[in-house]
Amino acid sequence: MFELPELPYAYDALEPYISRQIQELHHDRHHKAYTDNLNKALSVHPEWEGKSIEEIIRGYASAPDDIRTALRNHGGGYYNHSLFWLMMSPKKDQRPEGSLLDAVEASFGSYDAFVKQFSDSAGKLFGSGWEWLVLDNGKLALMSTANQDCPLTQGKAPLLGLDVWEHAYYPQYYNKRPDYVSAWWHVVNWEDVQERFDRAGK
């Protein structure tokens, strides 16, 4: 049984960039639904119940036919959102530093160029999905995934992810995804990205 993780800060801690209303709906309803549906799917095949969420995300292709899609959608939703809360912080306007900043500059030219490329890609992502900064064979790269697919399934380490499903921004930003994306940069938890970068590089 997987449990819905608590938000690591108050519902209104990311305001004014991400509203309390969004956080309440997104965590208490959407993330809870992914959690419940993941548990429901696993209960059908108890041999899968002991696996870690990372094992499920990496290995859903080998899951039984009748739960494979549920694991992909709801396991992905469970995991991606568990990461997403940690990848944001009430400590606003952080910037990458040190070894991470060096890697960003090596791969994208500069922090500003990285923000622009990531934001452009997030804006172009059609329908529902996620935009990611990943570590792929030791190098930083951008990646877009549809629905609740996760870079981990393709052997890439997610360092930073942005949820661009409408449920992530519509109550505050309506159809203006670019406004949501530019506001979101204020709450990115670069300390968390640095920790993921250090762990993934080892």
Give the range of 32-40, 46-54, 138-146, 168-176 binding Mn ion by CB under 5 A: 168-176
Residue 114 sits in the site that holds Mn ion (CB under 5 A): no
Return the residue nearest Mn ion (CB atom). Answer: 163
Q: x/- contact string, 41-80, with Mn ion (CB under 5 A)?
A: ----------------------------------------
CB-wise, 18 or 63, nearer to Mn ion? Answer: 18
Residue 163 sits in the site that holds Mn ion (CB under 5 A): yes
- Cα 146 from chain centroid (whole Å): 12
Closest approach of Mn ion to the CB of residue 27, in Å: 9
- In the chain the first and final C-alpha atoms are separated, in Å, by 30
Residue 131 sits in the site that holds Mn ion (CB under 5 A): no
List 165, 173, 184, 190, residue binding Mn ion (CB under 5 A): 165
Could you list the residues that contact Mn ion (CB under 5 A)? Answer: 163, 165, 168
